[in-house]
Amino acid sequence: MGLRFTKMHGLGNDFVVLDARTDAPPLDAARIRAMADRHTGIGFDQLLVIEPARDSSCTAAYSIRNADGSSAGQCGNGARCIGAWLHRDGMLALGAEAKLESPSGQVAMCLADASTVTVNMGEPAFEPAAIPFDAPAIADTYLLDTGGERVEVATVSMGNPHAVLEVGDVYAAEVDRLGPLVTCHARFPEGANAGFAQVLDAHTVRLRVHERGAGWTRACGSGACAAVAALRRRGRVADRVRVELPGGALEIAWAGPGQALWMTGPAVFVFDGEWLGA
């Protein structure tokens, strides 16, 4: 028998969703890479695996694999897709808050409708050890050597590591060059998602993200959260921000330190299928 799956996306950041609540399929790195191949497989940025909840207060749990087979700690667009999938499965009611177990801890969410999901992404963490990032003390920004050039980055964890660079134009050639260098920089021992943020005004940010394990993506939900958190910490944006990504826009709300950050955006079903590959 093949492996049943659902193809979904959040602003073009695309996923394959597997239901492993009763039967966990073997998912070694080679099989994940084969499924992720956009020419000979299904194609996706991340694989989302729904698992039985270990905490009785949670509806379900989920794990995340990148297209290269590596594990991820969080995925904002993926969390919204998991919520929409569980709603279609009859597990989440519209308008009711539910909790899920993510690889980085509990995540609360609420569906305004079948395709619009608001997720509590938790409080951003800026301590270097929490990211992790090699630095002796916490700071608003750090200087990072990238092949003979020094760039200024802010670092933040949204359950996964992010580097945020403010730029004048997210589509500049320099951004294309820096993305892979920052993602794999030695000062991020687990790698980082490199977000390049262009502040249009206090309520609008343009963003591109080079994700570890996936490369340039059309959207990165946790990256949008990280960018707003880093920029707001430096007084560059307000408490509610529209983040414009290549695949569309997300609404991010963060009141500041001591408060959880909230993300709202779409979750779209593409098709259901059966993987027949090895």
Interatomic CA distance for residues 67 and 199, integer angstroms: 30
Banded pLDDT at 10 (limits 50, 70, 90): very high
154 neighbors 141 (Cβ within 8 angstroms): yes
Instruction: State what percent of residues in the chain have pLDDT above 90.
Output: 94
Q: Walk me through the domains of the chain, giving residue ranges and CATH numbers.
A: 3-122+266-275 (3.10.310.10), 128-258 (3.10.310.10)
Find, among 55, 76, 71, the residue nearest to 10 by Cα: 76
User: Which tens digits make up the pLDDT trace of 74-119?
Assistant: 899 999 999 999 999 999 999 999 999 999 899 999 999 999 999 9
3-class state of residue 218 by DSSP = coil
170 neighbors 206 (Cβ within 8 angstroms): yes
Decide if pLDDT at 1 tops 80.
Answer: no
Question: What pTM was estimated for this model as a whole?
Answer: 0.92
Q: Vertex 9, ends 209 and 75: CA angle to 5°?
A: 50
Structure tokens at 115: 């395709």
Q: What is the pLDDT of residue 24?
A: 86
> How high is the mean pLDDT of the chain?
95
Instruction: Compute and round to an integer the Cα radius of gyration of the chain.
Output: 18
Active site residue 58: no
Q: What is the pLDDT of residue 277?
A: 84
- Which of 81, 110, 220, 225 is catalytic? The answer is 220
Structure tokens at 197: 């943020």
Q: What is the pLDDT of residue 233?
A: 96
Report which of residues 113 and 278 the model is more confident about.
113
Active site residue 220: yes
Instruction: Give the chain's largest Cα–Cα span.
Output: 55
User: Which tens digits make up the pLDDT trace of 199-245?
Assistant: 999 999 999 999 998 899 999 999 999 999 999 999 999 999 999 99
- Which of 58, 75, 110, 184 is catalytic? The answer is 75
- Torsion sign, CA atoms 211, 217, 221, 224: positive
